[in-house]
Structure 1
Amino acid sequence: MENDEHLNGPQADAPLGARTSTSLSANGDGGVAPSSSVRPELVEGRAKGDAHTPERKCILSGAHDAKDNLIRLAISPDGLVLPDIRAKAPGRGAWLGVDRETLDAAQKKGKLKGALARAFKGKPLTIPDDLGQMIETALERAFLDRLGLESRAGTVSVGSDRIGEAARKGRVHLLLHAADAGEDGNRKLDQALRVGSDAEGTDLRGLVLPLPRTILSMALGRENVVHVALTDRAAALRVEHDLSRWRGFIGRKSGAEPRDSSRGLSALTGLKNADGPAAGDDV
């Protein structure tokens, strides 16, 4: 079965997709374990939302998952393989459902080259040596862009006092902390989240991002953003999706410092003039 073909049956083992649709916390195996960082209704909402989503097959693992959970690769007119994070580029696509460690190992061993050759029907291809980094950067950029969009739409709250008040009233659906946020501040907001969510005594808490406050502040166009709260359920689902795809891909590196995102942006720009759709392709 071709990796671009629609699949409508139950999901098989999906190394990345199964993780990203239900969880946010990296585990010791480089995957992502079920998390207490997200209110239960978000997980339920994601499951319902994925029920009729077309599926794709990962070219490396052979596992099937909803295409929204996977990472699409496309080729530029000159044959350069590039990440197409939003799956908008025309032409034939190849789909990945593994984390970066697995991808880098497959590229080093030559398995990625063979899988891409089959996916793109033997077209001449050039695989960037830093493809894994390009994907990671593009996923990080997609998350930050989404957070910025939601902020401009008025669904994001910042500031400890404001977030604490909203959390205690049960209005916070997703709580995020900068990597350099103080433990005491995190603990207070986490407790407010549990109170407002009627989850006292549980381990429900905000998620500590692998991003410092300087990056969050730039993404939101504000000063000294240490904590971020999503106060709209639909917005929280959108942010959680982009965040979990990124963290699912970086796996064990989820605590790493962020890198400059310019490479990811240029990679996406390079796909705008890609070849038109191939017969039988997914776009």
Structure 2
Amino acid sequence: MRRCILLGERAPREALVRLALSPDGHVLPDVRAKAPGRGAWIGVTRAELETAIAKGKLKGAFARAFKTGPILIPDDLPQMIATALERAVLDRLGLEARTGHLLTGSDKIETAARSGKLTMLLHASDAGTDGNRKLDQAWRIGNDEEGSALRGLALPVSRTILAVALGRQNVVHIGLTERDAAKRVGETLNRWLHFIGPESALVACETPSQGASAHISNPAGSGIPAAADDDTCEEFE
């Protein structure tokens, strides 16, 4: 568990974004949480981060914690984080494609959806409405949830970007057929969609019975999942 240094709320580290402090005092995104040295965690949206930067709150939090000299916040830090989070999602999809747990092509996805083998459904931002509805309906049928609000998630990236990420042609829709794969993709999606704006994370990608969802929980409007009642979290590491 980690604590967001701007909201003061705790959450699993997978739901937060790590910011690392470089040797020259620059605050940089470390979305994979692998950079050496100490860092801090945030769970705010891009708009909230931009406000915190403008008011000096982020710089102040780092300065109080590290006391190592000048703290430099890049002007484009919010965009750097958004780009890194998008890259993490696309890389995750590419990895799942290589495992064989990811489907593309409307016919293949529809077959898996109707047979109850689909655990996550994603649409490109420029996918046609009719195509989305057809696959959404097939997914509801396969889950015995006809008439429900179950539907795929429209990603904020185009089919061209998805095609490049997966090394395939014309990727308009994506289906995941393995629960753990959907969970892994869902975790990266949660962070990205929450950061770029709460309105982007309103559609669940699995039924409640299937477990993982691409909708990040939002207690008290913070977008950070409720934390377990323990004291093992750290703001900085």
Q: Distance in 2 between matches of 1:92 and 1:217?
A: 36
Which of 153, 166, 169 is the aligned partner of 2:99? 153
Q: Does 1:199 align with 2:145?
A: yes
Which of 135, 138, 143 is the aligned partner of 1:189? 135
TM-score (norm 1): 0.69
Using a 3 Å threshold, how does the CA distance of structure 1 residues 281 and 210 change in structure 2: closer, same or farther?
closer
Where 2:197 maps in the other structure, the secondary structure is helix
C-alpha offsets along residues 257-276 of structure 1, whole Å, 9 cap, x if unaligned? xxxxxxxxxxxxxxxxxxxx
C-alpha offsets along residues 104-131 of structure 1, whole Å, 9 cap, x if unaligned? 0110111111012123234432110111
Q: Distance in 1 between matches of 2:153 and 2:24?
A: 41
Using a 3 Å threshold, how does the CA distance of structure 1 residues 74 and 116 change in structure 2: closer, same or farther?
same
Q: Does the CA contact (< 8 Å) of 2:122 and 2:175 recur in 1?
A: yes
Q: Does 1:68 align with 2:14?
A: yes
Which of 158, 165, 183 is the aligned partner of 1:219? 165
Where 2:144 maps in the other structure, the secondary structure is coil
Residue identity matched to 1:146 = R
Q: Does 1:108 align with 2:54?
A: yes
Where 2:145 maps in the other structure, the secondary structure is coil
Q: Distance in 1 between matches of 2:26 and 2:114?
A: 50
Using a 3 Å threshold, how does the CA distance of structure 1 residues 143 and 189 change in structure 2: closer, same or farther?
same
Where 2:20 maps in the other structure, the secondary structure is strand
Residue identity matched to 2:99 = A
- Aligned equivalent of 2:121: 175
Q: Distance in 2 between matches of 1:96 and 1:64?
A: 10
Where 1:113 maps in the other structure, the secondary structure is helix
Q: Does the CA contact (< 8 Å) of 2:15 and 2:190 recur in 1?
A: no
Q: CA deviation at 1:99?
A: 0.4
Q: CA deviation at 1:252?
A: 5.2
Q: Distance in 2 between matches of 1:144 and 1:166?
A: 22
Q: Distance in 1 between matches of 2:195 and 2:131?
A: 28
Q: Does the CA contact (< 8 Å) of 1:176 and 1:209 recur in 2?
A: yes
Q: CA deviation at 1:199?
A: 1.1
Q: Does the CA contact (< 8 Å) of 1:167 and 1:196 recur in 2?
A: yes
Over aligned residues, Cα RMSD in angstroms? 1.7
Q: Does the CA contact (< 8 Å) of 2:5 and 2:235 recur in 1?
A: no
C-alpha offsets along residues 233-263 of structure 1, whole Å, 9 cap, x if unaligned? 10000001101110000015749xxxxxxxx
**Structure 1, unpaired ranges of 5+:** 1-54, 256-279
State percent identity of aligned pairs: 63
- Aligned equivalent of 1:44: none
C-alpha offsets along residues 82-114 of structure 1, whole Å, 9 cap, x if unaligned? 101011111111110110000001101111110
Q: CA deviation at 1:281?
A: 9.0
Q: Does the CA contact (< 8 Å) of 1:94 and 1:120 recur in 2?
A: no
Q: Does 1:166 align with 2:119?
A: no
- Aligned equivalent of 1:244: 190
Q: Does the CA contact (< 8 Å) of 2:85 and 2:188 recur in 1?
A: yes
Q: Does the CA contact (< 8 Å) of 2:31 and 2:84 recur in 1?
A: yes
Count how many residue pairs are aligned between Structure 1 and Structure 2.
205
- Aligned equivalent of 1:130: 76
Q: Does the CA contact (< 8 Å) of 1:74 and 1:82 recur in 2?
A: yes
Q: Does the CA contact (< 8 Å) of 1:94 and 1:119 recur in 2?
A: no
Q: Distance in 2 between matches of 1:229 and 1:105?
A: 37
Where 1:72 maps in the other structure, the secondary structure is strand
TM-score (norm 2): 0.83
